[in-house]
Every structure is written in C-alpha cells, then in structure tokens.
Amino acid sequence: MLIASLKRLDATVSAETEALLAHRPIDQDAVNRRKGQSLLELTRLTRGLDPERVDPELAEQLARLRRSLQRNQEVVGLHLRAVEEIAEIVNDAIQDAESDGTYSARRRR
C-alpha cells in the first residue's frame, strides 16, 4: 500500500512537471489537492516505519520520487521566476503610462 501511494504521488508530480514543460494548461488547485492528499496518506502509512529496515523496492520508489520532486522544484521555480519578471514588466509599463515623469527620477521610455 505504501509503494502504491508513493507511485500515485510520483505520477501527480510528474504530470505537473510535464504540463509545465509543455506549456499546457493545468488545474493547479486539483494538482495541489492530490499532492496534499498523497502527503496525508504517506504520513499515515509511514507512522512507525523504521528507516533502517526499508526493503529495496521501497527504497527504489523513494529514490524515484525524490528525483521527480527535485525536477518539479526546478521547473516550478523557473515558472515562478518568469512570472516575477512578467509582473515587473507590467508594473513598470503601468507606472510609465500613468506618470508624466514630473515627480520621478526615472526616465520615460
């Protein structure tokens, strides 16, 4: 049951990563809900689990999930930086459009 739960979380994270890389629309609320449910399930399933006694199949699935999560973090971070840059560009454009430059040291473009 634990391995199945890890596989579901891995599939969710991988699907999100692939959608972001392909610039496909994604229902972020649904993805976040599935990830939250998976984390809750994993928390419940791993209570009392001795990390020293993890079998090889479980260890491999954990390693696979770790790689998926690392890749997802990179891709999400890239998208967040892009959003920040776009927001800054839009903010600058709005400020430039609303200002006649009288009270600003900034030059109009």
pLDDT of residue 97: 86
> Are the C-beta atoms of 59 and 7 separated by less than 8 Å?
no
What are 77's two structure tokens?
A: 């971070």
pLDDT of residue 104: 62
Domain boundaries, the chain: 2-48+55-98
pLDDT of residue 103: 66
Q: What's the whole-model pTM score?
A: 0.80
Handedness of CA 21, 84, 72, 45 (dihedral sign): negative
pLDDT of residue 60: 96
Q: Provide φ and ψ at 47, rounded to 5°.
A: -60, 130
pLDDT at 1 over 70: yes
